[in-house]
Amino acid sequence: MTLAEALDPTATHTDMANAIRALSMDAVQKANSGHPGMPMGAADVATVLFTRHLKFDPSAPDWPDRDRFVLSAGHGSMLLYSLLHLTGYAGMDIDQLKAFRQLGSHTAGHPEYGHAAGIETTTGPLGQGLANAVGMALAERMLAARYGSRIVDHYTYVLAGDGCLMEGISHEAVSLAGHLRLSRLIVLFDDNGITIDGKTELSVHDNQLMRFEASGWHVARVDGHDPAAIDAAITTARADDRPSLIACRTVIGYGAPTKAGSEKTHGAPLGEDEIAGARKKLGWPYPPFEIPDEILAAWRAVGARGEAVRADWEGRVAALDNDVRSEFERTAAGDLPLGWEAALDEFKAAMSSEAPKLATRVASQKVLEVLTAAVPEMVGGSADLTGSNGTRTSRHVAVTRDDFSGGYVNYGVREHGMAAAMNGIALHGGLIPYGGTFLVFTDYCRPSIRLSALMGKRVIYVMTHDSIGLGEDGPTHQPVEHLASLRAMPNLLVFRPADVVETAECWALALKHDNTPSILALTRQGVPTLRTEHTAENLCARGGYVLAEASGKRKATLIATGSEAEIAMAARAQLEGDGIPTAVVSMPCFELFAQQDKSYRNAVLGPKSVRVGVEAAVRLGWDALICSDGGFVGMDSFGASAPAGKLYEHFGITADAVVAETKSKL
Ligand SMILES: Cc1ncc(C[n+]2csc(CCOP(=O)(O)OP(=O)(O)O)c2C)c(N)n1
Ligand SMILES: [Mg+2]
């Protein structure tokens, strides 16, 4: 303790940081599991950020104009839980810290969005938090452009470790943030030179400062245990018109007498002796989970400060023009505008009567012309495939580093960064993100799709070129196993519409399911309109439905998705001609169909005896619909490079093949 601190009757910076250290090492010890090193090392950085810069109000965790704090190094979850407890978030009482990592507690192993107020995103997969933060910082700029800086004016702070910066996704995120010059993004790098295997020099020699600088960032380096230096660096970063990286040199496990500075503190309890030694070294004589009143009071005072700032802000919102205010509040709540479905219904009716032959990606673009007019908070984008994905409408203006008023983002060739940024936009609130690439490249963004699903955020993935039907680009670009693998993911809706009408319906469903991300798998090649009779009802809402009933007592049911519905319809005509009453079921969404009651499902699927699935993809996952002895016409290998028509013939996905498969089962 310094003399100045000793003379200060109130809690000092060191006391406050040590409270984080003690809670973290004790909670990990009690759980006999967890990561004490990072919170102990980064406690000073976090204390400076929370006490001197972060704008937040624990009594209103969802305050739209709060600063965002993202703990990208999610294994250091006890740092965040300690801060939430100390600053006074409801639901994070001391018992929660004692129940660290236990079933049903708010203190999951890694921070999980929705488990406790104040957790801005789910982190743990390294690099994701950093990349989410880019989306948050982008959303902030876009909303500031729409509503003005009196209403939207906040920073996004990230605490990231060596691991986050080593992950590939960090390149995409850092590059995108630099390109857009997201000046409200400040990354605090817990630069401790240690990862699980040992010193970082075992595996990396990047000059991180030069790397960020090369992407157009402001960079600085500080002693991560010097509060004044950290404070000054953050102040400078806030004033800079570029995103900022502050490399904070820290000692992992700071305070642990024999293990500090070593990977031994990374991911295991310190042990009773080491903890006793740390208490001595830190000057923290208090028992586990006990924070002296004056130290807790100091932290609570920090937490209480935001209330007045928020009240001021609420006054400014209240003073807004009525229409603007209600639009701000509606979009912040994630509610869709009144009447958005009417425009879509009109579109459906027009398409049913015109019955165009259209690729569903083109159909999707037409739907977006209608939807983005009705739902202005939708933010489109593509990972450099705008023309192919049909994600941009005639109304769209792209955001640039100088003007964020547009509604379209050129994410560049950064699928993973795009998906993670879209998670960040959705988490930020106020905007609904959708973005495109080829379906085959869901593999390039799958970790972020998984987090959309785990967090239950409405992110809409427009994934075009959804089968061998894309043709000449060949097997590298032809998804075969992707639908199956995406359908395996919990809380993800995978839509594969068959025509323009289903495309409109699936878009509507993706928007309505506000706790679930959606994939729209769309064709490159043209498909006919099959739904030529207008229904006001959204038939895709039940996942699958009878598109064409058998003319007599049903003997066979063909179940198809997307572009293969046309093939099933042609096969049905042949089978009916041969005296075999056959129904065609369109199954645009397996997940929604699975949610229907059994009687509906059985009625749609018909007798088990003869069901034949038709999808230009692998069979995995289909047996739930067609049963293990059902027929299937699809793919069991990678595709090939040739015109689409030739490929369908070559791989035997034809009406004749469906007829033969059906007859073989009769
Ligand atoms: C994508 C991903 N890969 C691997 C891991 C497992 N993991 C957790 S922490 C860690 C090392 C991280 O090092 P650093 O960020 O420097 O954290 P520190 O050891 O300094 O706390 C690894 C490999 C992970 N959580 N996410
Ligand atoms: Mg490290």
Tell me how far the alpha carbon of residue 333 lies from the centroid of ligand 1, in angstroms: 34
Look at residue 608 in the predicted model and tell me its pLDDT.
87
Q: Where are the alpha helices (DSSP H) in 196-266?
A: 208-214, 227-239
Question: Ligand 1 in contact with 612 (CB < 6 A)?
Answer: no
CA distance 555 to 666: 8
Contact in structure between 215 and 178 (CB atoms under 8 Å): yes
Per the residue annotation, which of 415, 505, 591, 661 is the catalytic one?
415
Tens digits of residue pLDDT in 421-439: 999 999 999 999 999 999 9
Count CB neighbours of 486 within 10 A.
Answer: 24
Give the tokens for residue 54: 């972060």
- In the numeric block, the tokens 């869709």 are attached to 336
Question: Ligand 1 in contact with 423 (CB < 6 A)?
Answer: no
Nearest Cα to Cα of residue 163 among 195, 201, 186: 195
Contact in structure between 190 and 45 (CB atoms under 8 Å): yes
Question: Ligand 1 in contact with 37 (CB < 6 A)?
Answer: yes
Tens digits of residue pLDDT in 590-614: 999 999 999 999 999 999 889 999 9
Q: Considering all CA atoms of the chain, what is the largest pairwise distance in Å, rounded to the nearest integer?
A: 97
Report residue 70: phi and psi, to 5°: -115, 120
Q: How far is CA 569 from the centre of its chain?
A: 37
Give the tokens for residue 225: 């245990």
Nearest Cα to Cα of residue 547 among 571, 580, 526, 523: 571
Tell me how far the alpha carbon of residue 200 lies from the centroid of ligand 2, in angstroms: 7
Tell me how far the alpha carbon of residue 325 lies from the centroid of ligand 2, in angstroms: 44
Question: Ligand 1 in contact with 661 (CB < 6 A)?
Answer: no
- Rounded to an integer, the average pLDDT of 466-474 is 98
Report residue 545: phi and psi, to 5°: -160, 165
Question: Ligand 1 in contact with 73 (CB < 6 A)?
Answer: yes
Residue 6 has pLDDT above 50, yes or no: no
Three-class SS of residue 637? coil
Ligand 1 mutation target, pool 75, 159, 250, most atoms within 8 A of CB: 75
Residue 306 has pLDDT above 80, yes or no: yes
- Rounded to an integer, the average pLDDT of 573-585 is 98
CA 466, 469, 473, 478 torsion-angle sign: positive
Question: Nearest C-alpha to atom 9 of ligand 1 is from which residue?
Answer: 75
- In the numeric block, the tokens 């998670």 are attached to 423
Residue 1 has pLDDT above 50, yes or no: no
Question: Ligand 1 in contact with 252 (CB < 6 A)?
Answer: yes
Long-range CB contacts (< 8 A, 24+ apart) of 269-278?
Answer: 269/25, 269/28, 269/29, 269/31, 269/32, 269/33, 269/34, 269/36, 270/25, 270/28, 270/29, 270/36, 271/29, 272/29, 275/25, 275/26, 275/29, 278/21, 278/25, 278/40
Count CB neighbours of 114 within 10 A.
Answer: 13
Tell me how far the alpha carbon of residue 17 lies from the centroid of ligand 1, in angstroms: 23
Question: Ligand 1 in contact with 250 (CB < 6 A)?
Answer: no
Question: Ligand 1 in contact with 126 (CB < 6 A)?
Answer: yes
Work out whether strand 432-438 and strand 408-410 pair parallel, antiparallel, or are unpaired: unpaired
Nearest Cα to Cα of residue 420 among 188, 208, 171: 171
CA 354, 360, 362, 365 torsion-angle sign: positive
Question: Ligand 1 in contact with 131 (CB < 6 A)?
Answer: no
Cβ contacts of 461 within 8 Å, gap of 6 or more? 419, 434, 435, 436, 442, 445, 449, 517, 518, 519, 520
Ligand 1 mutation target, pool 28, 196, 448, most atoms within 8 A of CB: 196
CA distance 161 to 218: 18
Q: Which atom of ligand 1 is nearest to the CA of 124?
A: 25
Nearest Cα to Cα of residue 564 among 518, 506, 499, 638: 499
- Rounded to an integer, the average pLDDT of 118-132 is 98
Question: Ligand 1 in contact with 451 (CB < 6 A)?
Answer: no
CA distance 173 to 138: 11
Tell me how far the alpha carbon of residue 115 lies from the centroid of ligand 1, in angstroms: 22
Question: Nearest C-alpha to atom 12 of ligand 1 is from which residue?
Answer: 163
- Rounded to an integer, the average pLDDT of 469-478 is 98
Cβ contacts of 109 within 8 Å, gap of 6 or more? 33, 34, 77, 101, 124
Look at residue 4 in the predicted model and tell me its pLDDT.
42
Q: Tell me the pLDDT of the chain averaged across its residues.
A: 97
Give the ligand at the shortest distance from the Cα of 267.
1
Q: Which atom of ligand 1 is nearest to the CA of 163?
A: 15
Tens digits of residue pLDDT in 339-353: 999 999 999 999 999
Look at residue 619 in the predicted model and tell me its pLDDT.
98
Tell me how far the alpha carbon of residue 49 lies from the centroid of ligand 1, in angstroms: 22
For residue 415, indicate whether it is catalytic.
yes
Tens digits of residue pLDDT in 175-228: 999 999 999 999 999 999 999 999 999 999 999 999 999 999 999 999 999 999
By CB neighbour count within 10 A (0-12 exposed, 13-18 middle, 19+ buried), where does 664 fall? Answer: exposed
- To the nearest whole percent, how much of the chain has pLDDT over 90? 98
Q: Which atom of ligand 1 is nearest to the CA of 73?
A: 15
- To the nearest whole percent, how much of the chain has pLDDT over 70? 99
Contact in structure between 219 and 240 (CB atoms under 8 Å): no
Tell me how far the alpha carbon of residue 196 lies from the centroid of ligand 1, in angstroms: 7
- Rounded to an integer, the average pLDDT of 112-140 is 98
Distance separating the N- and C-terminal Cα atoms of the chain = 86
SS3 track for 306-347: HHHHHHHHHHHHHCCCHHHHHHHHHHHHCCCCCCHHHHHHHH
- Find the helix or strand (DSSP H, E) in which 455 lies: helix 446-455
Contact in structure between 180 and 138 (CB atoms under 8 Å): yes
Q: How far is CA 528 from the centre of its chain?
A: 33
Look at residue 2 in the predicted model and tell me its pLDDT.
43
Contact in structure between 547 and 565 (CB atoms under 8 Å): yes
Q: Which atom of ligand 1 is nearest to the CA of 252?
A: 20
